Amino acid sequence: MIQARVLVPGRGEGPLLRLGADISFWGAVDPATGRIIDQRHPQHGESLTGRVLALGRSLGSSSGSAVLLELLRLGCGPAAIILGEPDQVLTLGAVVAREMEYASIPVMQLDPGHFDALPGQVRVLEDGRIQSGEP
């Protein structure tokens, strides 16, 4: 079990997608499909949908919160987000999605040095505990 700081409470579970580089949701993630469309990104073509997304931080525009909101509205969003540093843009997108009664996902902050300890199947709990989702 790993303990994270809760930015947006909730529960989420799914396969881990650990990004090899920071990302701008605006322009790098297709809000209609949940796929990473930035051809320069190491995980180009990967889908965020239903996965626990681990990334150092998001880059770029505050419009990234709108992209996350659209992903969640369309059911293409991640199951949870684990950040290496607090991020107001993605956190805002998750909060607004919850308020609009779209999909509700947890957002946690975890020291990036602990990212290697994240299991391949992740369960995120309301209190910030991150554990293996394997039975």
Specify whether the CB–CB gap between 124 and 106 falls below 8 A.
yes
Give the burial string for 113-132 (b: 16+ CB within 10 Å, else e).
eebeebeeebbbbeebebee
Give the H or E element holding residue 15. Answer: strand 12-18
In the numeric block, the tokens 């509700």 are attached to 104
- Which is the catalytic residue, given 24, 47, 61, 104? 61
In the numeric block, the tokens 């409470």 are attached to 9
Q: Is 61 a catalytic residue?
A: yes
> Taking the mean position of all CA atoms in its chain, how far away is CA 72?
11
Would you name the residues annotated as active-site residues?
61
